[in-house]
Chain A
Amino acid sequence: MGVLVALYAILIFPGLAFLSTFGLVAEYVDRKLYARFQNRMGPPWFQPFADFVKLLGKETIIPAEANATVFKVLPAVAMAAVVTAMFYIPVWDNRSLLGFEGDLIVVIYLLTIPTLTFFLAGWASTSLYAAMGAVRSLTQLFAYEVPLYMALLAPALLARTWSLQTMARWYTEHPAWMLANLLGFLVAIVALQGKLEKVPFDIPEAETEIVGGTFTEYSGRLLAVFRMAIDMEMVVGAALLAAVFLPFGLGLHPVLVFVLFLAKVLFLVALAALLRALFARLRIEQMVDFCWRILMPAALLQLLLTVVLSGVAP
């Protein structure tokens, strides 16, 4: 890959520019649908953009006791990890930009990095509320991460590959086998809410208890970058689920596949908004309990099903 092509990929498509635009669109869809579910008008279409610009123009405060370097670098690390993960996910056909055998695991690890930066951000802020949010986000990480990975494992096992593009190719040839992963899909959607720290699993940012959670001390530009990273994570997380659990229509014309990709991601975002409107926030121990007692057995069941089915799979 030439330097120019690489720069284009990193900065424009499917890198920063595309992801940030799509992230803002996804945030808008999420908030608007949430508002419509509550029978109200909701924000205008430019709302996420206005929030972002406004935050860029605000004063940035760094607490005197905080480690200023860590405090400033963390939002960028979160964003970089999310953008990197995007390079391994097929967007316009069943090939990704940098795909290789085993990239599913790399994507999973890259998507864990934002959560770790949330933890470090809370810790580095040296504020009591932020520290509490940080500890909660780590506790939550141990609860949803295992079911999520087990659920993502199942389709990979069925296709006998660790590569997202090989998987996409396999499912394009055998589209009906997609249905074998439905249970895992449900588990993954619920666990993704935990990863994105959205209702019902927005315990680390519980505004009513610990003011702003991990982001309590963040303001201005740094908060803007963090929010953008979270929006991007929502898109990339949804794109990963779409690539793994909804790999249909990948053999079409690239433009059609791209439109289908957008539709799939927005569908998952809409599902998330529905979950947000339906449920209230759980307590942290209820969340851990739910993940280990209900999600985990469901994921195991899916794995068992997959192991049995892979005996007859082509």
Chain B
Amino acid sequence: MSVLSRVMTWARVKSPWIIHFNTGACNACDIEIVAALTPRFDLERFGILLKGTPRHADVMVCSGSVSRQIEDRLRRIYEQMPEPKFVVAVGACACSGGVFQGCYNVRSGIDKVIPVSAYVPGCPPRPEAIIDGVVKLLGTLQAPPKPPIRTVGIAPQP
């Protein structure tokens, strides 16, 4: 790695701005995500800031099992984020569909729609677990390029 790209990677690891998106969660995961953003957990230590617009964000933190209604919106918001971008799936629903797995109205997991870089299981996961997931994701950026934790490709367009 050249010096410039090393500085760039360092900056990326140190300054992940996140956007929070609910794809049909029962809201418990969202409450935990919001709790993780409160001063008590102090995410700014890692340079994490919550941003309102996908244009400013690097990491999309998703919860919920992707209902069919929100699938297009999820894809559109993902495409609105500038490269390089990452997705963290928070909660059992976001990882695999959780209790809604196999329901007629859900796609059962974020990774059926967009590529996911880190999974945080739990129903809902504690704020500590969410922070751990995001920080581990950043750790993989620092390491020499190797396959991410687990990635499933973009689902075929309907």
Q: Give me the interface of A with B, judged by CB distance under 8 Å.
A: 31, 35, 38-44, 46-47, 49-54, 57-61, 129, 207-208, 210-212, 215-220, 223
Establish whether residues B42 and A40, one from each chain, have CB atoms under 8 Å apart when the complex forms: yes
Q: How far is the CB of A304 from chain B (nearest CB, A)?
A: 43
What 10 A-B pairs come out closest when comparing CB atoms? A53-B11, A207-B52, A59-B82, A40-B42, A212-B53, A211-B52, A50-B14, A54-B11, A219-B55, A59-B83
Q: Given the complex, which residues of B lie within 8 Å of A44, measured CB to CB?
A: 14, 45, 47
- Rounded to whole angstroms, the CA-CA distance of A218 and B82 in the bound complex is 10
- Rounded to whole angstroms, the CA-CA distance of A118 and B132 in the bound complex is 37
Instruction: Name which residue of chain B comes closest to A220, CB basis.
Output: B82
Instruction: Name which residue of chain A comes closest to B79, CB basis.
Output: A61
Count chain B CB atoms within 10 A of each CB in A39, A42, A53 and give the residue with the most: A53
Partner among A57, A60, A61, A223 whose Cβ is within 8 Å of the Cβ of B12: A57
Establish whether residues B7 and A219, one from each chain, have CB atoms under 8 Å apart when the complex forms: no
User: How many pairs, one residue from A and one from B, have CB atoms within 8 Å of each other in the complex?
Assistant: 91
Instruction: Name which residue of chain A comes closest to B41, CB basis.
Output: A40
Also in contact, A50 and B47, with CB within 8 A (given A59-B83, A220-B82): yes
Partner among B10, B15, B55 whose Cβ is within 8 Å of the Cβ of A61: B55
- Rounded to whole angstroms, the CA-CA distance of A150 and B44 in the bound complex is 38
Q: Given the complex, which residues of B lie within 8 Å of A218, measured CB to CB?
A: 55-56
Chain B residues numbered 23-47 whose CB sits less than 8 Å from any CB in chain A: 39-40, 42, 44-45, 47
CB<8 Å pairs between A and B, sample of 20: A35-B39, A40-B39, A40-B42, A42-B44, A42-B45, A43-B45, A44-B47, A47-B44, A49-B11, A50-B15, A58-B58, A58-B82, A61-B80, A210-B52, A212-B51, A212-B55, A215-B53, A216-B52, A217-B53, A219-B82
A43-B45, A47-B14, A208-B52 are known; give 7 further A-B pairs, CB within 8 A.
Answer: A44-B14, A61-B55, A61-B82, A212-B55, A212-B56, A215-B53, A216-B52
Interface residue? B99 (CB, 8 A): no
Q: Given the complex, which residues of A lie within 8 Å of B80, measured CB to CB?
A: 61
Interface residue? B84 (CB, 8 A): yes
Partner among A31, A46, A215, A223 whose Cβ is within 8 Å of the Cβ of B44: A31
Establish whether residues B53 and A41, one from each chain, have CB atoms under 8 Å apart when the complex forms: no
Q: Given the complex, which residues of A lie within 8 Å of B39, measured CB to CB?
A: 35, 38-40
Establish whether residues A58 and B10, one from each chain, have CB atoms under 8 Å apart when the complex forms: no
Q: Given the complex, which residues of A lie within 8 Å of B8, measured CB to CB?
A: 53-54, 57
Instruction: Name which residue of chain B comes closest to A51, CB basis.
Output: B15
Establish whether residues B47 and A51, one from each chain, have CB atoms under 8 Å apart when the complex forms: yes
Establish whether residues A211 and B53, one from each chain, have CB atoms under 8 Å apart when the complex forms: yes
Also in contact, A216 and B55, with CB within 8 A (given A47-B14, A50-B11, A58-B84): yes
Partner among B10, B51, B52, B84 whose Cβ is within 8 Å of the Cβ of A50: B10
- Rounded to whole angstroms, the CA-CA distance of A215 and B82 in the bound complex is 14
- Rounded to whole angstroms, the CA-CA distance of A54 and B141 in the bound complex is 13
Chain B residues numbered 84-99 whose CB sits less than 8 Å from any CB in chain A: 84
Establish whether residues A46 and B14, one from each chain, have CB atoms under 8 Å apart when the complex forms: yes
Establish whether residues B10 and A223, one from each chain, have CB atoms under 8 Å apart when the complex forms: no
Instruction: Name which residue of chain B comes closest to A39, CB basis.
Output: B39
Instruction: Name which residue of chain A comes closest to B80, CB basis.
Output: A61
- Rounded to whole angstroms, the CA-CA distance of A61 and B83 in the bound complex is 9
Q: How far is the CB of A3 from chain B (nearest CB, A)?
A: 31
